[in-house]
Amino acid sequence: MSEKDLYEKIVELAVRRGFFWQSYEIYGGVAGFVDLGPLGSILKKNIENKWRQWFILKHQDFIVEIESPAIMPKAVLEASGHLEHFTDPIVECLRCGRKFRADHLIEDAIGKSVEGLTPHQLTEIIKENNIKCPSCSGQLSEVRTFSLLFRTTIGPYSENVGFIRPEAAQGMFVAFKRVYDSMRGRMPLGIGQIGKVGRNEISPRQGVIRLREFTIMEVEFFFDPEKPKCPFISEVENDEIRLITAENKLKGIKEPITVTIKGALEKGYIVNEWLAYFMALAQKFVRELGIPFNKQVFEDKLPHERAHYSSQTFDQLVKVSRWGWIEVAGHSYRGDYDLSRHMGFSGKDLTVYKQFSESQEVLVEEISLNHEVLERSYPEEYRKIVNAFSKRDKNIMLAELKAKGYIELAGKRLGPEFFKIAKVKKVVKGKRFIPHVVEPSFGAERLLYATLEYAYTVKNGRVILRLPRDIAPISLAVFPLVSKEPLVSIAKEIYENFKKEGLRVIYDESGNIGRRYARADEIGVPLAITVDYQTVKDNTVTIRNRDTWEQVRAPIKEAYVKIPEYLRYRLEFKDLGVPLKK
């Protein structure tokens, strides 16, 4: 059978009706970039707004949204570790000069995963298996790393290197202290952001699934590591979740287990309550996009599969037809990695102070100079270094040593051997700490694609896009039964009235009514109102249900009030009017 697969059908529909298409088509297209068309851009905004409902507005007293730039100076990504770690292995053909992502090339050739291997190991596998250029069969180069950061220059000085951010997160870490202060020192504190990021993939080949520029929706949730409990966990603790646990993966079992949030926490599958809480919300959010429970799974990533900053990460996967299980979100426990690093690299205090109700004995790390080593190594500069040390904040120096592996004093980079670090018991009235971070992070375009795929249905040979009615790009279609007066004027007035209420509406009078219904069904318009000669007499209209093709009759006045409620899932279709027989 050479029938189109579902992916192709959706792409065909998406291009024809204006959901998405490859960018820069008239110039031959550029892989990894898509335009969202008139319908796609609304659908994406609706998905973003739904995310905002779940991840920001639900807890708007302690989760806020910010907007930080996509262009970042080098210092930020140096501190975050992206400059060093955010790479893919690349290999070049020594004959034709083509470049390939080395791990994908090897996996295609030998049919097994090489995730987490070093460039050296990959080079060895290429040699052992005598893998050649898939394009010209030429000899391949050594594998090296390729930075996935889009690099640029900020301003006229070539040394001011900048990058397009690969994640929104760093904008939140760098601004953490400002947001924290503007929120009057609230802890826990979530900082969310929806924004574009860039990842300079070597050769993306999966259309809208793997983009070089895409939209991230993420929350960095900061909390006191000594208070890791989530007070809302009871709301979700009985929710079931499908987990591929690390334990099972190590045993070779890739089937998910179904477990409650409570159970997953008790068994230690999920290491933190906030992480579990956001995973529970994430599952509900994705279900509201029309992707059912059994088409979602959370996969615990093994240490070598995780990003450099993470101590636990679950990929939230969704099943799609052509690509199998694709990641739509990552749920990471980032610990204090990012804030510590930024504190160490920037030399700015990013700790938070907490007051105890009464004085307590706590264990405090204290740093002092190892004078012996120092004097021996730098007899000339010794006094200057001692002086510089005395002027610096000790906590920041600790962070600097941890982040950079050295502390810079009087122009010298001094490694751990120059310092003594002791844990000291102290009785204090409060203390400073670096908050820990849990991060739910979604990719909007992938969710958009998955949403379309789950909405795509065929009935009597015709396509119906059964989008959830609160995210459908167009909420309502208004048709005159025939393109004649007074039906046209009445229908146009109804169209205008719904528009004024803030609804997205289409008016259509071309072609027969059946064809108009079909056009509306294909883009997922949940309801269609038809104005007919009866309307002229009694101001009632027919309202048609996209999914069932059932119809009800209702006074137009009632429809103005009830349809917005129906679209918010506060009424059912039968509540909209009196059923009509087909």
Q: Which of residues 15-44 bind its own copies (CB under 8 A)?
A: 15-18, 21, 23-27, 30-42, 44
What residues between 397 and 436 interact with its own copies by CB under 8 A?
A: none
**333 or 442, CB closer to its own copies?**
442
Distance CA 253, CA 181 (A): 47
| Cβ-proximal residues to 507 (8 Å cutoff; 6+ apart), any chain | 477, 478, 479, 491, 492, 495
Closest approach, Cβ 340 to its own copies, in A, equals 13
What residues between 60 and 89 interact with its own copies by CB under 8 A?
A: 60-61, 64-73, 75-76
Distance CA 447, CA 49 (A): 13
Residue 204, both tokens: 């993306």
- Give the ranges where 267-406 is alpha helix by DSSP (H): 273-288, 337-346, 371-377, 382-391, 394-404
**93 or 329, CB closer to its own copies?**
93
Find out whether 401 and 367 touch, Cβ atoms under 8 Å: yes
Closest approach, Cβ 137 to its own copies, in A, equals 20
Among 206, 211, 212, 467, residue whose Cα is nearest residue 322:
206
448 binds its own copies (CB under 8 A): no
Among 220, 195, 449, residue whose Cα is nearest residue 318:
449
Interface pattern 204-243 for its own copies (x via CB under 8 A): --------xx------------------------------
Interface pattern 124-163 for its own copies (x via CB under 8 A): ----------------------x---xxxxxxxx----x-
What amino acid occupies position 496? E
Distance CA 154, CA 151 (A): 10
Closest approach, Cβ 544 to its own copies, in A, equals 20
Among 337, 268, 328, 334, residue whose Cα is nearest residue 306:
334
Identified binder of its own copies from the candidate list 10, 47, 90, 531, rule CB under 8 A: 90
Question: What burial letters (b/e) apply to 392-422, b meaning 16+ CB within 10 Å?
Answer: eeebbbbbbbbbbebbebeebebeeebbeee
Identified binder of its own copies from the candidate list 10, 11, 164, 407, rule CB under 8 A: 164
Neighbours of 14 (CB within 10 A): 22
Among 79, 74, 78, 68, residue whose Cα is nearest residue 338:
79
Find out whether 66 and 193 touch, Cβ atoms under 8 Å: yes
**350 or 481, CB closer to its own copies?**
350
Find out whether 479 and 519 touch, Cβ atoms under 8 Å: no
Closest approach, Cβ 56 to its own copies, in A, equals 10
Closest approach, Cβ 371 to its own copies, in A, equals 31
Q: Is 315 exposed, middle or buried (0-12, 13-18, 19+ CB in 10 A)?
A: buried
Distance CA 72, CA 167 (A): 11
Distance CA 520, CA 159 (A): 54
Q: Is 89 exposed, middle or buried (0-12, 13-18, 19+ CB in 10 A)?
A: buried
Closest approach, Cβ 198 to its own copies, in A, equals 6
Identified binder of its own copies from the candidate list 200, 542, 545, 551, rule CB under 8 A: 200
Size of the residue set binding its own copies (CB under 8 A): 80
Region of 57-65, 291-299, 376-384, 417-425 interacting with its own copies (CB under 8 A): 57-65
**270 or 490, CB closer to its own copies?**
490
**73 or 290, CB closer to its own copies?**
73
What residues between 350 and 369 interact with its own copies by CB under 8 A?
A: 350
Closest approach, Cβ 284 to its own copies, in A, equals 16
Identified binder of its own copies from the candidate list 87, 145, 203, 539, rule CB under 8 A: 203
**172 or 246, CB closer to its own copies?**
172
Q: In this structure, what DSSP letter does residue 406 have?
A: S
**179 or 271, CB closer to its own copies?**
179
Closest approach, Cβ 417 to its own copies, in A, equals 28
202 binds its own copies (CB under 8 A): yes
96 binds its own copies (CB under 8 A): no
Closest approach, Cβ 193 to its own copies, in A, equals 8
Closest approach, Cβ 390 to its own copies, in A, equals 23
**117 or 202, CB closer to its own copies?**
202
**145 or 377, CB closer to its own copies?**
145
Query: 430 pairs with which residues across the strands?
Result: 355
**334 or 342, CB closer to its own copies?**
342
Query: What are the φ/ψ torsions at residue 357 (nearest 5 degrees)?
Result: -70, -35
Closest approach, Cβ 255 to its own copies, in A, equals 37
Interface pattern 309-348 for its own copies (x via CB under 8 A): ---------------------------------x--xx-x
Closest approach, Cβ 108 to its own copies, in A, equals 18
Residue 517, both tokens: 């219904």
Residue 465, both tokens: 């896009």
**260 or 346, CB closer to its own copies?**
346
Residue 284, both tokens: 């509900």
What residues between 461 and 520 interact with its own copies by CB under 8 A?
A: 499, 502, 504-507
Closest approach, Cβ 538 to its own copies, in A, equals 28
**73 or 228, CB closer to its own copies?**
73
**139 or 153, CB closer to its own copies?**
153
Q: How far apart are the first and last CA of the chain?
A: 37
